[in-house]
Amino acid sequence: MRHFDYKDGEMFAEDVALRDIAKTVGTPAYVYSTATFTRHFNVFADAFKGRKALIAYSVKANSNIAVLATLAKLGAGADVVSEGELVRALTAGIPAQKIVFSGVGKTESEMRAALKAGIRVFNVESLPELEQLSDVAVSMGTRAPVAFRVNPDVTAGGHEKISTGKAENKFGIAWSSVESAYARAGELKGIEIVGVDMHIGSQIDSLAPFEKAIEKVGALIAKLRAQGHTIRSFDIGGGLGIPYGDNTKTPPPPSEYGALVKDLTSEMDVELIFEPGRMIAGNAGVLLSKVIYAKSGEDREFLIIDAAMNDLIRPALYDAYHEIEPVKASGRDFNTQIYDVVGPICESGDTFTKRRELPEMKAGELIVLHSAGAYGASQSSQYNTRPLIPEVLVNGDQFSVVRDRPSLEDILRAESIPDWI
């Protein structure tokens, strides 16, 4: 569910007109709904009532500290993959004991920062990482709590670039090496084994891959315990998909996912850890933009908007679909047009959609790209020296800019010309 709807012919975010945000902040801009973040987090958490579970929001989906603070108030933990994300989570008020540290390339500096903060667990992805982490922990006079991220070789995910649980993916410990990895961890002075972790992909639209992977890892947990290892937690990762408004399969709701997980883990005696990101943030945000030109090409019509691939790279990177609507409702009788909706960047890949039927639009009109709350702002860049765009958080009839648009002077201030030039 999202709180972006038409009222009296104008699209609102909760009780704020998007047109008013555009007048105040300018375009393009990201607009987020507090009510949607809240509802999505609570729906997911409610699916696991009665079980000991940590909902560690995946910071990479949307890392704005106002978003993180909103989720922290609801009781969320955090799944981080860098020292920067760790600092963001702590700054937003997420307790260190609710933070899990994932990622295949943790540096010594990141390990030290996480150990100093006292995070809940490191999701370790290789033996070299394990050895390094042990050395760092010993040098600090402590032990690092770890769970190995195991690769169950289960195919899942809506695109090959977001599938993470197959044998050829870079993530996790190969299934054939898991038991020897735990044996080595048990020998290291700086390591405390606490659990098992998996993450099989993103934008998963079926429960079948989860069922297969959980059953496989459940059997592994029993085997590891029989070998003398303490396994207190089972991190099932994230990956549950969201509806994007296209004609693809609608993912199952969190209630069905929760029922499956609770059933499959009922005899495991583990704390459950989850890392949802897209499911909480995806439909909590829109990209608000303005039409610059409507251009007639040789064999098609182009709608050129002021947002670009540097602002929202998902269509260029993943061929992702985003529902597109005008801010002003079209009314009963309106003309439609088949458009390629594109941005102003000098790349053919700067295309949000091709051959999409939309209401006929003209220069100056406002437009929204839905389902942009996850992997939108967090993946944005300043390519073509286009400033990062503002992020706006709405709460009821209020809104606040939670990331400013930098000036060109701000961008250039970070660079310098050497004396020899």
- Nearest CA-CA partner of 390 in 404, 369, 377, 372: 404
Catalytic positions: 346
Structural contact between residues 373 and 277, judged by C-beta atoms closer than 8 angstroms: no
Those residues whose C-beta lies under 8 Å from the C-beta of residue 139, and which sit 6 or more positions away, are: none
- Nearest CA-CA partner of 172 in 237, 125, 241: 125
- Is the Cα torsion angle 117, 122, 126, 127 positive or negative in sign? positive
Both tokens assigned to 44: 């997911």
Give the DSSP letter string of 127-176.
Answer: HHHHHHHHHHHHHTTS-EEEEEEEE------SSGGGB-SSTTSSSSEEGG
Burial label, 9 (beta-carbon count in 10 A; 0-12, 13-18, 19+): exposed
Residue indicated by tokens 């929204």: 368
Those residues whose C-beta lies under 8 Å from the C-beta of residue 246, and which sit 6 or more positions away, are: 321, 323
Distances (CA, A) of 384 to 308, 323, 344, 381: 10, 26, 10, 9
Structural contact between residues 75 and 56, judged by C-beta atoms closer than 8 angstroms: no
- Nearest CA-CA partner of 10 in 327, 333, 331: 327
Q: What is the distance between the alpha carbons of residues 190 and 144, in angstroms, rounded to a whole number?
A: 6
